[in-house]
Structure 1
Amino acid sequence: MKTKDDMAWKVLNSKYISKEPWFTVRKEKVELPNGNTIDSYYVLEYPDWVNVIAITKDGKYIFERQYRHGLQCTSYELCAGVCEKEDESPLISAQRELLEETGYGNGEWEELMVVSPNPGTHTNLTYCYLAVNVEKISEPHLEETEDIQVELLTFEEVKKLLIGNKITQAQHAAPLWKYIALRTPKKGF
């Protein structure tokens, strides 16, 4: 049961300024609990997303390299994608994305964490999964808009990429750092 949020903003009016498949934005006038108003507050609507830390039976980490036009650079990323309406759950979406983009599947899966891309402006969540003992079961089936190189990396190579700021996608770096923190022996603070 959801309880009332005593810090919630009151929406005074709302209108869509764009309703495109990958750019749905609404402009709202909102009132804060202290009575102040914000005349132009923009909210980006997206479906939920997934990403996967996938590790093969022989201990290799499955990464993708692809060009990202926003930053105009090629980056290392986890396998990731959108939760499609026909998928029964974020887990099904993650398994589908891994198979489509890399050709890997099976293994043991667990939800590692759930993060928000930006709770101030985005409506969606990202479900981050850990999949171990995955295996190559097919060739990738990329969409027309995807140009992905799959690379298998060692744990040390992944750590080096993280430490060197070569994994710039925050929603990918966060679960990787959590995974590293969980598998590193605690030495106390």
Structure 2
Amino acid sequence: MPKDGPNRRRDTPPEPGGWETLSHRRVVDDRWLKLDAEAVRTPAGVVLDPWWLLDFPDWVLIVPLTTLGEVVLIRQWRQGARGFVLETPGGVIDGTDADAQEAARRELLEETGYAVGQTRLVGHLWPDPARNINRCHIILATGCARAADPTPEPGETIETVLVPLAQAGALLRDGQVESAMHCAALLRGLSAAGQFG
């Protein structure tokens, strides 16, 4: 787990007044998806069985700002949307990464070919706290410059999109960034850079 912030996992005690976990079983154990069924009891004594949880790995979303005053975004095929979606670069924090910032540097270089000058963790988000137990870590990357050709993973279809920093807020206002997590990451990153709100 990254050292950059909290991630409430199954072994973390719940907050007082929360639900009690009565039982837990893994139903699907795949490389990309783990599906758990839990029996839980609410403070009112109601038992919910099964309560489904998705156990995805933590991941990073990066808001990269170039030395030329641009935001580096990607347009990536997303099967669920059945189309290309404008997003911030990002990906899973894997076992080779010391922390979320290292994962951000690796993912940005792989997906876009851009190297990072400085990184700063600007926040964490729960993608879906009702059903998912993973966290998304938002990284502001500054001083980014093209250093190599992108090396996307097999199965990724990605195009790099450079947007002038002054126009990045309009992407959010105009609905050009439609993925909720990427909207939130872009807003948090631009705000941390003093460029929005």
Correspondence for 2:71 = 61
Correspondence for 2:46 = 36
Correspondence for 1:7 = 17
- How many angstroms apart in 1 are the aligned matches of 2:70 and 2:36? 42
Correspondence for 1:166 = 176
Over aligned residues, Cα RMSD in angstroms?
1.8
Correspondence for 2:29 = 19
**Bigger mean CA deviation after superposition, 152-161 or 69-78:** 152-161
Q: TM-score, normalised by structure 1?
A: 0.91
1:113-143 CA distances to partner (integer Å, 9 max, x unpaired)? 1111011111111110111111111111111
Correspondence for 1:101 = 111
Please show how residues 111-150 of structure 1 align to structure 2 within 5 Å: 111-150=121-160
- How many angstroms apart in 1 are the aligned matches of 2:28 and 2:138? 28
- How many angstroms apart in 1 are the aligned matches of 2:190 and 2:142? 14
**TM superposition shift of 1:73:** 2.1
Bigger Cα Rg: 1
Q: 1:184 to 1:65 in 2, by over 3 A?
A: closer
- How many angstroms apart in 2 are the aligned matches of 1:33 and 1:140? 50
The match for 1:175 among 185, 188, 192 is 185
Question: Counterpart of 1:67 in 2: which secondary structure?
Answer: strand
Q: Which runs of 5+ in 2 are unaligned?
A: 1-11
Contact 1:112 1:175 in 2 (8 A): no
**TM superposition shift of 1:150:** 0.3
Q: Which runs of 5+ in 1 are unaligned?
A: none
One-letter identity of the residue aligned with 2:148: S
Question: Counterpart of 2:132 in 1: which secondary structure?
Answer: coil
> Number of residue pairs matched?
185
- How many angstroms apart in 2 are the aligned matches of 1:90 and 1:164? 30
- How many angstroms apart in 1 are the aligned matches of 2:81 and 2:116? 33
Question: Counterpart of 1:15 in 2: which secondary structure?
Answer: strand
Q: TM-score, normalised by structure 2?
A: 0.87
Contact 1:110 1:129 in 2 (8 A): yes
Contact 2:187 2:196 in 1 (8 A): no
